[in-house]
Amino acid sequence: MRSIVYTRFGDSSVLELVDRPVPEPGPGEVRVRIVASGVNPTDWKARSGGTYGTSMPFPEITPNQDGSGVIDAVGAGVDRLRVGDRVWTYMSASGRPTGTAQEYTVLPAERVVPLAADASFELGASLGVPAMTAHRALTVHEFGPRRLAPGALDGNTVLVAGGAGAVGHAAIQLAVWSGATVITTISSDDKAALAQRAGAQHTVNYRQDDAAKQIRAIAPNGVDIVVEVAIAQNSALNSAVLANHGVVAMYANNGGDQASIDIRPNMSINARYQFLLLYTIGQAALDAAAADVSAAVRDGALPVGAEHGLPIVRFPLEETNRAHDAVASDTVGKVIIDVQSA
């Protein structure tokens, strides 16, 4: 089979197209014939050495955590999934050397989730990292729901930082599906248009001096949940707009590795600051996210594509290096690798 691998950390030139044997699933595993591989910042960061430390955890790694395809072999002890099932995958290359940038990959069954019959493979490959991260961020409020569903966030106001980003896009869609009022921050009119197409009711340019005032005008009682991509830059803004018992769910360090938080205003409102990393949130939270994201897909609530606020940028498998570079250079939208036809 055609497989993309790297044997040392480095820029995207370390990625090579090679021929490898089709792997066999062991007990508790399934083999997925990959149709689409989704690229996220985590994939190029791992390849460049930013995740694993100084030495490769495996002699050879196939990149990319997210993917979609069709199950074509099932290992012993797996009864939830069957050959022929359309599926999406998450954390495919976490603790394992074999991600989705190849024609077949073997995965633990719990990281493989049925994909609704009318959902495209490009949508399936867009769910793992972005939508599951967004799900976690929306379910860590002290008094909020741990599961998302229509009505789960009724009466809540959610502020999504960076609504034109991949995680931001999914956060808007899941919050709207769950009944929240969604405000999102963006840096340009073009990105505001994307966030509105994702379903955000309100957009505010975070580069404007009066961003906090604009958000307060929309949400006089404050926002309950902030889905935060850049806490170093947005700490003061969050303090100014958070509701009593509000939570800032922080999933990234865009804009700086260190943040300072004003104690007094945050103490006054019992604010919570919640970090999250998908790889370590635990299987219970992953299972909840996979189930709720799948329900949202079945409801048609997580569409991708330019008309829905997330343009798709496609590359063939042999150009996985260009796909990684596109994500690393902040391409707007979702980068998808077409691995093989459905």
Q: Would you list the DSSP string of 196-222?
A: HHHT-SEEEETTSTTHHHHHHHH-TT-
Q: Could you write out the DSSP letters of every residue in 45-92? A: HHHTTTTT-SS-SSSSBB--SEEEEEEEEE-TT--S--TT-EEEESST
Among 152, 174, 211, 230, binds ligand NAP (CB under 6 A): 230
Please select the residue that binds ligand NAP; options are 32, 35, 161, 180, rule is CB under 6 A.
Answer: 161
> Residue with the closest Cβ to ligand NAP?
165
For residue 223, the minimal CB distance to ligand NAP (Å) is 14
Among the listed residues 278, 285, 288, 290, the single contact to ligand NAP using CB under 6 A = 278
Min. distance of Cβ 71 from ligand NAP in angstroms? 25
Q: Is 166 in the site for ligand NAP (CB under 6 A)?
A: yes
Give the total residue count for the chain: 342
- Considering only residues 294-323, where is the footprint of ligand NAP by CB under 6 A? none
Q: 30 CB contacts (<8 Å, ≥6 apart)?
A: 71, 73, 74, 75, 78, 81, 106, 107, 109, 112
Q: Which of 255, 265, 305, 311 binds ligand NAP (CB under 6 A)?
A: 255
Among 71, 115, 276, 337, binds ligand NAP (CB under 6 A): 276
Looking at the DSSP bridge assignments, the partners of residue 253 are: 230
Q: Which residue has the tokens 């005008």?
A: 217
Residues in a beta bridge with 305: 310
Contacting ligand NAP within 49-108 (CB under 6 A): none
Q: Are strands 312-316 and 334-338 parallel, antiparallel or unpaired?
A: parallel
CB of 64 to ligand NAP, least distance (A): 13
Where in 115-154 is the site for ligand NAP (CB under 6 A)?
129-130, 133
Residues 14-53 that bind ligand NAP (CB under 6 A): 40-42
Nearer residue to ligand NAP within complex by CB, 42 or 62: 42
Q: Give burial (CB, 10 Å; 0-12/13-18/19+) of 268.
A: exposed
Which residues of this chain interact with ligand NAP, rule CB under 6 A?
40-42, 129-130, 133, 161-162, 164-168, 185-187, 191, 206, 229-230, 233-234, 251-252, 254-255, 276-278, 330
